[in-house]
Structure 1
Amino acid sequence: MNVARLFAVDAAQAARVLSELREATLAGQRARIAPRPVIEQSWGRMLRSGVDPDHDFRSRPLSLDEVRHRREESPLRHILPVLREGLLSVADVAQHIMVVADAEGRVLWREGSPPVLRKADSLGFMVGADWREDVVGTNGVGTPAVVRRPVQVFAAEHFVRSHASWTCTGAPITDPRDGRLIGVVDVSGPLETMHPATLAWVDSVAKLAEAHLRELHLASLERLRTMAAPVLARLEGRALVVDRDGWAAAVTGMPYVRRVTLPKSLTPGYRWLPSLGSCAVEPLAGGWLLRAAEEEPPAGTTRIVLDLRRPVRSSVTVAATAGSWSRELSPRHAELLYLLAEHRSGRGAAGLAEDLFGDPSRTVTVRAEMSRIRRYLGDLLQHRPYRFCEDVEVEVLLPGDPCDLLPQSTAPAVARRRAAAAD
């Protein structure tokens, strides 16, 4: 069913069709038509997680101080002018509002038509509100954050009944450096103001915002490179200058390294880094000078801990004799490392493609993702086949309920493991 086209022709009829479809689905009955796949999958997540479709649950909003703190810390603040310029003027005229939420689904900014803002207040759609999918059901903020692509939610496609008079269109905003989700931009309004082109419009502006973030990052690296050049010119041996997130601005005495994985709380001194080994770490304005030490780190057992206990924000921690570091994982990297932990003897690209997509021919995608993983795990991860090193201890921390294993994952291998746990 082409919902956008149906709404463009007859919005009232479309709303009735979706309402009937939703009621039939919740009652466990077979409807005349099927929901759109993205909506059907979201409804399935809601039913499994126990979201009540008949009661509008609202968690306590953030305090004004906490909202202010998150705004100051969020990279979204850098792209707010781009979002306003691309969305706000049209949204206001069309009686919509623009909402910007962080990666945790918390609304940080909300602007637009005053009457629509008041209506949003009645839904609890206000600054500081928690709009995650598993809190308020299928919606234009939480659902795009889960599926990591733009989503338009029409009328009764909202899982919670009280939201059925509302239409939301949201697009995720990711950090162009590493693909990490940093937030969602959403355009919402009353059902009668819906336009079928809104999805493409919001998606385009979100991509413009990501491009702006990329430009800002390149400019900051160029500033750091200019400052670091005379410093490196005086040094002998291997050294590089990186920004606070580990992105390389300049190197000397060694091949170019795009990025170095840094611990969250890096401090000056003698440190061990996964891709460089023992280093002397010195602070620079806007970054770090890393000078490779001559001696090797002490020998010892290396341990990898893959933490999958939380529905989002899976992480990997590497602990060695000389130090330890952690990294938050994207959903795809969490899936791949979990599968490799399950197959300690190794898994080829075709096997991983079958596990992830049900299609062994999608090896190019697998190899690209594994290449990205090896940038931070380095020699701890081997290939042909892909596997953890034999002398590395690997521990996987699973959620208390095995059915909650990587709940956002649609990978067949992960789905089979969840299904086996449910039986």
Structure 2
Amino acid sequence: MNVARLAVMDATRAARLLSEIRDATLVGQRARIAPRPVIEESWGRMLRSGVDPDHDFRSGLLSSDEVRRRREESPLRHVLPVLRQGLLSVADVAQHIMVVADADGRVLWREGSPPVLRKADGLGFELGADWREDVVGTNGVGTPAVVRRPVQVFAAEHFVRSHAAWTCTGAPITDPRDGRLIGVVDVSGPLETMHPATLAWVDSVAKLAEARLREIHLDSLERLRSVAAPVLARLDGRALVVDRDGWSAAVSGMPYVRRVALPKALAPGRRWLPSLGSCAVEPLAGGWLLRAAEEPVGTVTRIVLDLARPGRNTLTVSGSAGSWSRELSPRHAELLYLLAVHRAGRGAAALAEDLFGDPSRTVTVRAEMSRIRRYCGELLQHRPYRFREDTEIEVLLPANPGDLLLSSTAPAITRRRTAAQCGGPADR
């Protein structure tokens, strides 16, 4: 069923039909028309997690001070002009509002048609509100954050009944440097104002925002590089200059390292860092100077790959010299999970088959593994790709095995999800 086209021709009929489909699905009956796959999968997650479709649950709003703090720290603040220019002028005329939420699903900005803003208040769609999918059900903020792709939610496709007069269209915004989710932009309004082109429109503006973030990053590295050049020229030995997030601006006396994993509270002094070992850390304008010491690094003893929270995958490494964590892009989470499952290792062709169902796509696999090895360093070996044998690895999985790496369409991951739900053996 083309829900968008039906809603444009007859919004009332579309709302009634979607309500029938949801009601049948929630009581375990087979509806005469199946819900769209992205909606059906979301409803399944809501039923498993215990979200009540008849109860409009709202977690506490963030305080105005906390909203202000998150705004100041969010990279989304840099792309607000892009989002406003691309969405607000049309949204206001079309009786929609633009909502920008952070990676935690918290509404940080909300602008647009005043009458629609007042209607949103009645739904709890306010500044500081929590619109994660597992809190308020299927919606245009929480669901795109989970599946990592644009989603349009019409009327009764919302899991919670009180949202059925609303239409939401959201697209995730990711960090173009590493694929990490940083937020969601959403355009919402009453069902009768919905247009089938809204999904492509919102997705296009989200991609423009990501392109702007990429430009900002490259400009900042160029400024840091001009500061680093005279500093590195005076030094002997291995050294590099990175920005506050660990991205390299300049390197001296060592192979180029694209990024160094930095602890959240890095301070000047002698520190141990992944892939570099013991370093002297010195502050620079806009970044850090890292001078690597020629001494052996501590032995890594344990790796935890945390895939338990849909959409938020992390790698934590612990050893005698300390520990560090890194949030993983969806692709890197897939690859590290497959290597954790296959401790004997996987060649590039086998991983290409796992990810794409096409063993010839080894160039893509090798490029991604090269990026992973830049921050994992000695933890990963190659020919075949594998974790070091003396490393203990723990994989934390979702409570429901069917929620494993939800945004992944990789054949090997899909087989494991299906096998886990059916209680059968996983793939080879």
Change (3 A) 1:161 1:312: same
1 CA distance for matches of 2:364 and 2:222?
31
2:246 equivalent in structure 1:
246
Change (3 A) 1:356 1:43: farther
1:406 equivalent in structure 2:
404
CA contact (8 A) 1:355 1:413 kept: no
2:327 equivalent in structure 1:
328
The alpha carbon displacement at 1:176 in A equals 0.8
**Aligned partner letter, 2:369:** M
2:380 equivalent in structure 1:
381
Q: How does 1:42-81 map to 2 (within 5 A)?
A: 42-81=42-81
**Aligned partner letter, 2:417:** A
2:109 is the alignment partner of 1:109: yes
Bigger Cα displacement from structure 2, 27-36 vs 223-232: 27-36
1:190 equivalent in structure 2:
190
The alpha carbon displacement at 1:413 in A equals 4.3
Tell me the TM-score normalized by structure 1.
Answer: 0.92
2 CA distance for matches of 1:5 and 1:181?
31
CA contact (8 A) 1:315 1:329 kept: yes
2:214 is the alignment partner of 1:227: no
**Aligned partner letter, 2:207:** K
2:425 is the alignment partner of 1:419: no
2 CA distance for matches of 1:273 and 1:130?
35
The alpha carbon displacement at 1:232 in A equals 1.0
CA contact (8 A) 1:403 1:421 kept: no
The alpha carbon displacement at 1:237 in A equals 2.1
1:370 equivalent in structure 2:
369
SS at match of 1:336: helix
2 CA distance for matches of 1:362 and 1:9?
44
Structure 2 spans left out of the alignment, 5+ residues: none
CA contact (8 A) 2:105 2:142 kept: yes
The alpha carbon displacement at 1:321 in A equals 3.0
2 CA distance for matches of 1:404 and 1:9?
36
SS at match of 2:125: coil
2 CA distance for matches of 1:242 and 1:128?
33
2 CA distance for matches of 1:9 and 1:138?
24
Q: How does 1:150-189 map to 2 (within 5 A)?
A: 150-189=150-189
**Aligned partner letter, 1:53:** P
SS at match of 1:314: strand
CA deviation string 1:273-314 (max 9, x = no partner): 22223322111111111122223335x453222234444533
2:4 is the alignment partner of 1:4: yes
The alpha carbon displacement at 1:192 in A equals 0.6
**Aligned partner letter, 1:179:** G
CA contact (8 A) 2:257 2:374 kept: no
SS at match of 1:303: strand
CA contact (8 A) 1:335 1:406 kept: no
SS at match of 1:79: helix
**Aligned partner letter, 2:16:** R
The alpha carbon displacement at 1:365 in A equals 5.0
1:82 equivalent in structure 2:
82
2:349 is the alignment partner of 1:337: no
CA deviation string 1:313-370 (max 9, x = no partner): 3322222333332112234433432332222122344544555566666655544433
CA deviation string 1:234-280 (max 9, x = no partner): 11222111101111111122232221222222222222222223322
Q: How does 1:30-45 map to 2 (within 5 A)?
A: 30-45=30-45
SS at match of 1:131: coil
Q: How does 1:130-169 map to 2 (within 5 A)?
A: 130-169=130-169
Change (3 A) 1:405 1:339: farther
1:125 equivalent in structure 2:
125
CA contact (8 A) 2:334 2:405 kept: no
SS at match of 1:184: strand
2:266 equivalent in structure 1:
266
2 CA distance for matches of 1:405 and 1:202?
26
The alpha carbon displacement at 1:151 in A equals 0.8
2 CA distance for matches of 1:68 and 1:18?
38
SS at match of 2:312: coil
2 CA distance for matches of 1:369 and 1:165?
43
Structure 1 spans left out of the alignment, 5+ residues: none
CA contact (8 A) 1:311 1:404 kept: no
CA contact (8 A) 2:303 2:317 kept: yes
The alpha carbon displacement at 1:416 in A equals 4.2
CA contact (8 A) 1:155 1:166 kept: yes
Change (3 A) 1:16 1:309: closer
2:210 equivalent in structure 1:
210
Change (3 A) 1:194 1:416: closer
Tell me the TM-score normalized by structure 2.
Answer: 0.91
2 CA distance for matches of 1:297 and 1:222?
31
1 CA distance for matches of 2:416 and 2:370?
21
Change (3 A) 1:310 1:345: same
SS at match of 2:204: helix
1 CA distance for matches of 2:221 and 2:24?
55
CA contact (8 A) 2:148 2:311 kept: no
Bigger Cα displacement from structure 2, 67-76 vs 6-15: 6-15
2 CA distance for matches of 1:301 and 1:82?
43
Change (3 A) 1:54 1:366: farther
2 CA distance for matches of 1:416 and 1:196?
32
2 CA distance for matches of 1:308 and 1:176?
21
